[in-house]
Structure 1
């Protein structure tokens, strides 16, 4: 009985320690900007089929629990699903590990153990060179790349909403999608034409409009 009670106490202590630590946050195309807007983040990009990624997974869980004491949040991105994030981070290998800190992005290329991860997130990152502005996922260029690669997903989401919630036929939806660029192009042409006419008036005078 005493042994059983001791095991329960040990289990309760372990659970309380785990709860005190952080949890790995699943980052997606939709929540990345909101989640990473504040704080320091260690992020890995992985693929479920990658053997090195599977070996890293338990270490990443431990890192999330221990790094909470350093004020560091830990996240992961499934590179096989989040295509916009793959483009923003310029991923070409799995796993890839990044540090987001004070508006800068650092690529981690050190040893794969918890102590090295924590050291990089808190201090040794200072010896690394941050990614250039155009490659940083939280820069204007990175955000624009993410929006561009999210367009197909947003279009499919809009299509399903129009079809399922508003009972609009596929033909009407396709025609509507085709009409949008035509309307936008027409507006741009009108704006350019108005600017050209105004410039012509400024250059040649009002009487130029009445010349044949």
Structure 2
């Protein structure tokens, strides 16, 4: 994962060798064609070309580029990652210091990387980037936000003296590899996708703004309907509903058997009503006879009371 300085220089060894050979060939031809007294100036020029050739080739940067495809490389080893945007003035001021710090990456055994949030919105959501530039330190999958001075010397001391141990790591449930942050990354990518197609509809296809909004509104409704149907289908497969069996149609035999108890109940009710109607006159007659007997007794008692008073 780390690239040595000799290996980085090896990529430009072949072009330098070709330049030097060409310079010697040209110098030899010039020496043959020029007078003996004028050899000093071409030789001096060739020496400058020969030794100045390494500086004519651009040196490859030691800073690695992290994208949505290779960000999981950060989970292994030790890393320092910068999140920046090309339009950010503070990010532009940090770039020389960051490049200088990256040259010490091999000696410090740390990988130095950067992320362009304008090109990688998913990583911006995954790492919750709310300010630019933002620097993270990662050691074997544990992420810590760097909040110290942003100079090469401070970066080197932060790694060499292991100052990162005094910083509380990011919680695992909000870490870049968690389900929550993966969902956040997908949301950021979706927003960038919508923005890209919105600009395409307006600028390339010439649709009005309300036309683009209408397209996205219809797409949202359609996707919601499809998602709802899929959820219903999955729920029905996982938890099927219990279907009630329809009751069989009763046969004539069952109807006759069920009607017989009803007839018996009706006959018993009629018999009870007749008994009640017969008991009512009897009770009335008994009341009348009792009343007559009481009247006769009162009449028989009254004459005896009268004879007692006369005596």
- How high is the TM-score relative to the length of structure 1? 0.68
Question: Residue deviations 1:31-63, cap 9 Å, x none?
Answer: 342442433221111122322211110111111
Among candidates 46, 53, 65, match of residue 91 of structure 2: 53
Q: What corresponds to 2:245 in structure 1?
A: 210
Residue of 22, 25, 43 corresponding to 2:81: 43
1:80 aligns with 2:115: no
Q: Secondary structure at the match of 2:240?
A: helix
The answer to whether the 8 A contact 1:90-1:135 is kept is no
More strand by share: 1
2:152 pairs, out of 111, 114, 124, with 114
For residues 163 and 51 of structure 2, the distance between their equivalents in structure 1, rounded to whole angstroms, comes to 38
Q: Distance in 2 between matches of 1:143 and 1:191?
A: 23
Q: Which of 173, 176, 180 is the equivalent residue of 1:141?
A: 180
CA change 1:191–1:139 in 2 (3 A) is closer
Point out which structure has higher relative CO (alpha carbons under 8 A, 6+ apart).
1
Q: Which blocks of at least 5 consecutive residues in structure 1 are unaligned? A: 161-173, 202-207
Where does residue 164 of structure 1 map in the other structure? none
1:193 match:
236
The count of residues paired between Structure 1 and Structure 2 equals 191
Give 1:190 deviation, angstroms.
2.4
**Quick one: which of 127, 143, 150 aligns to 2:189?**
150
- In structure 2, the CA distance between the partners of 1:5 and 1:128, relative to structure 1 (3 Å rule), is farther
Change (3 A) 1:112 1:7: farther
Partner Cα distance (1:184, 1:135) in 2? 27
TM-score normalised by structure 2 residue count: 0.49
Q: Distance in 1 between matches of 2:95 and 2:181?
A: 27
- Equivalent position of 2:141 in the other structure: 103
Report what 1:128 is aligned to. 167
Tell me, in whole angstroms, the C-alpha distance in 1 between the residues paired with 2:79 and 2:126. Answer: 16
Matched, 1:26 2:58: no
Q: Supply the RMSD in Å over aligned alpha carbons.
A: 3.8
Q: Tell me, what secondary structure is at the counterpart of 1:36?
A: helix
| 8 Å contact from structure 1 (residues 87, 149) kept in 2 | yes
Secondary structure of the residue that 1:111 maps to in structure 2? coil
Structure number with greater Rg is: 2
How far the C-alpha of 1:83 sits from its partner, in A, is: 2.1
